[in-house]
Copies of this chain bind each other. A is one copy, B any other.
Amino acid sequence: MTKYAQQASILIAVDCIIFGFDGDKLKLLLIQRGIEPEMHKWSLMGGFVQHNESLTDAADHILKKLTGLEGVYMEQLQAFGEVYRDPGDRIISIAYFALIDIHKYETQLSHEYHAEWFELDQVPQLIFDHNDMVEMARKKLRYKAALHPILFELLPEKFTIPQLQSLYEGIYDSVFDKRNFSRKILSTGLLIKQKDKDKLNSKKGAFYYMLDIGKYNENFHAFLNLIPNPDHLQFV
């Protein structure tokens, strides 16, 4: 069956870095490991790649198992393959990162896996090289979001411009001028204004907007200039 000379076997895992935004801070979904080794330590959600599933299948399964979600934004981050990254076995891990609407997350599943959301600057020590994976995912998200309209994936279907701005400000840890921000965002033509307002966060109320899915798909690759000065970004 095997056409190649004997090759020592290496296990393949997929680990998912799951981002969510609670309206204030960018957060990360972590689990407490239920199996040895490193039982009870915090970790990314992961699993082994099965013989009959592709890498993206594996990532989809892992995401669904923990969050109940399918069809959300996910992309491959990088393969991690240091020899002793897992001190026990030789395991190569392909890391994926996902952006989800935190409100769609099914909390009952979190009990099963002892999952919790952590703010990005309060991520605990994780097993193996998972902290490296998280750090790399954070950088890649910042990099990519500066050029492409990717952050909508973290918001509910209806959102307000101030909410969106707060998301950008959280991710870039800075403050943007609201006049310039709203002009830039609206000039993309990606947003459709709704008739109703969100009155939770202010007395006056802020109009809801929805993403124009057609234009979003068309223009996803277009270079935007959403961040005033992206020179400090450090990825790729």
Contacts and interface: CB of A to CB of B under 8 A. Distances in A.
Contacts of A76: 78-79
Contacts of A117: none
Q: How many copies does the complex hold?
A: 2
Interface residues of A, number: 45
Interface in A193-232: 221-223, 230-231
B7 A10 contact: no
Interface of A: 1-4, 7-12, 36-37, 48-56, 58, 76, 78-83, 88-90, 92, 94, 144, 148, 221-223, 230-231, 233-236
Contacts of A56: 81
A58 B79 CA distance: 13
Q: Say what secondary structure dominates the interface of chain A.
A: loop
A51 B10 contact: yes
A144 B56 CA distance: 24
Given A4-B89, A81-B94, 11 more contacts: A1-B89, A2-B89, A3-B36, A7-B11, A9-B9, A51-B90, A54-B82, A55-B80, A223-B231, A223-B233, A236-B236
13 contacts: A3-B37, A3-B88, A4-B48, A9-B9, A10-B49, A12-B92, A51-B83, A51-B90, A52-B83, A55-B81, A92-B94, A223-B230, A223-B233
Contacts of A221: 233-235
B10 A81 contact: no
A67 B65 CA distance: 45
